[in-house]
Structure 1
């Protein structure tokens, strides 16, 4: 598979596999894809909703992309999103009024970065594979968040969710009647900042050199262990921001669901976005928008064609499979 064609071919193959799976299950692939891909683009309300879906995917995609640049296969964004969301809930529990927003950002990002310290230490000091350690931390974060939302931070008026972000601290829709909030431009701006950091900053250069050749990095006085910490920290910060924004900037609930439904899976969606975007921050933005259209389109596919949402997951899984095969062959 030629390098310039691997992504289009992987996406095309995934849609073919998805169509075959729909047909074998008794659903109409043509009607399903029409609802999935065209409906979100035909109305600004649906398009803005797709962009809202893309924001956290872009941020978690940046987590994986920064890890790749450092030579890491960091899949810890999932747990770090949970911790970011939990930090936002903690802020809503402790503070009322506008002050809850800056506290949510501080607490959410800090918790996410602290959560990444464990796999960073295990990798840099003991050489523990980051895939194993981040999976472990993801599950700990999942059950810790479930317990917190079900007990201390439960909403007494609505037990299925956490306490709500105070109205003064919410990022409300920029266009009334839509889901488009400041979370979307914030996510895209963060992608631009990460691009500048990786390409033009000293530490971005060190991360890239260490990721490509740790031995050469050492010969130039660059500490691979230290760059691992920086890569984990930057990735965790943007993943934590994704979790915060899902609580303070996602109408109508402005809370964390008891089953974590509004944050679950975002870290793994980010892996897809990073692979589709070739690990480039700006490519991650385009891939995130594409995945946002799929997510929004899946809702219409269920309503208009009666096709289950899970078929979108099949498509995403096949995309990752085809791209992973190519990576292993190179």
Structure 2
């Protein structure tokens, strides 16, 4: 935990220091001091730091939320490849946001958030129902297949809605990639209570999730209310994912990769896995956003692209060294 907190602090410092313009530690201190006092910095480097503060905060919060959401979904479904992208939650939120842009002309953070929550919830429920049909109930393989099929279908619907509507496509295409470049305090203020509440619920569910890993029958014998624990944990995971998707777009791979890496370091105990996954996700997305700004100078490469590019080979290495079995 101490190393994780230190890594988050270092990632935040790196995010503030590097970009199209590299700044010095003194300029970082000047920029932070001016921001804390509600003033506008006088030096160019300090001004750059002030402009990077919102996106750094959003990158840390979004990365933590996505990794925590992925860890929850893997624990609830006992599926090692479960994450918001594979289970269709991201695309469910994206479809509702697209429909809101195309047909309702939405523009406020509250509207984005409401539609993203509705879409993510309905997509998660649909995947669970479809994955539960047939003998054996909701097995990990059936849930993964149902999620992949649902995600592909929803992606096709998103394209069908956007293609005839140029204005909606121009507004959506940058959001679809996933990134934190559009961070602003008013939008983050809208989603912050949801993220904090869902994270608290997730941490409170950790002991029950440990019991669920032993099987439903054993969990019931240990006094755990299986249905309630699974419902609360799944709801927290969906809310975390939907809130981030509403403000930063559907960023992939964070929720899938980070819990696997953390599990190799800390073991399967959810009381450690959940907070450490949150710290790891914050580090990953903040660093990915910084890399995108550095290699894309004078523009930027969106963080969602960088996480996929970095995460794919890491997950391949993990898969080669670890038996990918049901949790």
Within 5 Å, give how 1:63-74 maps onto structure 2: 63-70=69-76, 72-73=78-79
- Once residues 150 and 144 of structure 1 are traced to their aligned partners in structure 2, the CA distance between those partners, rounded to angstroms, is 10
Contact 2:195–2:243 (8 Å) recurs in 1: no
Deviation of 1:222 (Å) = 4.1
Within 5 Å, give how 1:113-192 maps onto structure 2: 113-121=121-129, 122-123=131-132, 126-151=136-161, 155-157=165-167, 159-162=169-172, 179-182=183-186, 184=188, 190-192=194-196
- Once residues 328 and 66 of structure 1 are traced to their aligned partners in structure 2, the CA distance between those partners, rounded to angstroms, is 17
- Once residues 311 and 151 of structure 2 are traced to their aligned partners in structure 1, the CA distance between those partners, rounded to angstroms, is 24
The answer for the alignment partner of 1:77 in structure 2 is 84
The answer for the alignment partner of 2:38 in structure 1 is none
Deviation of 1:81 (Å) = 1.4
The answer for the alignment partner of 1:61 in structure 2 is 67
* Cα deviation code 1:216-245 (max 9, x no counterpart): 212245454664444333322322222222
TM-score by length of 1: 0.60
The answer for the alignment partner of 1:294 in structure 2 is 287
The answer for the alignment partner of 2:255 in structure 1 is 270
The answer for the alignment partner of 2:246 in structure 1 is 244
Deviation of 1:104 (Å) = 3.7
- Once residues 199 and 86 of structure 1 are traced to their aligned partners in structure 2, the CA distance between those partners, rounded to angstroms, is 29
- Once residues 65 and 306 of structure 2 are traced to their aligned partners in structure 1, the CA distance between those partners, rounded to angstroms, is 24
Q: Which has the higher contact order (CA 8 A, sep 6+)?
A: 1
- Once residues 221 and 288 of structure 2 are traced to their aligned partners in structure 1, the CA distance between those partners, rounded to angstroms, is 46
- Once residues 135 and 187 of structure 1 are traced to their aligned partners in structure 2, the CA distance between those partners, rounded to angstroms, is 31
Contact 2:82–2:256 (8 Å) recurs in 1: yes
Q: Structure 2: which 5+ runs fail to align?
A: 8-13, 24-47, 264-269
Contact 2:69–2:240 (8 Å) recurs in 1: yes
Change (3 A) 1:187 1:290: farther
Contact 1:51–1:180 (8 Å) recurs in 2: no
Name whichever of 141-150 and 231-240 sits farther off.
141-150
Deviation of 1:77 (Å) = 0.5
Change (3 A) 1:87 1:326: same
- Once residues 315 and 130 of structure 1 are traced to their aligned partners in structure 2, the CA distance between those partners, rounded to angstroms, is 26
Within 5 Å, give how 1:175-254 maps onto structure 2: 179-182=183-186, 184=188, 190-200=194-204, 205-220=207-222, 222=224, 224=226, 227-246=229-248
CA RMSD after TM alignment: 4.7
- Once residues 311 and 59 of structure 1 are traced to their aligned partners in structure 2, the CA distance between those partners, rounded to angstroms, is 18
Q: How many residues align?
A: 271
- Once residues 191 and 209 of structure 2 are traced to their aligned partners in structure 1, the CA distance between those partners, rounded to angstroms, is 22
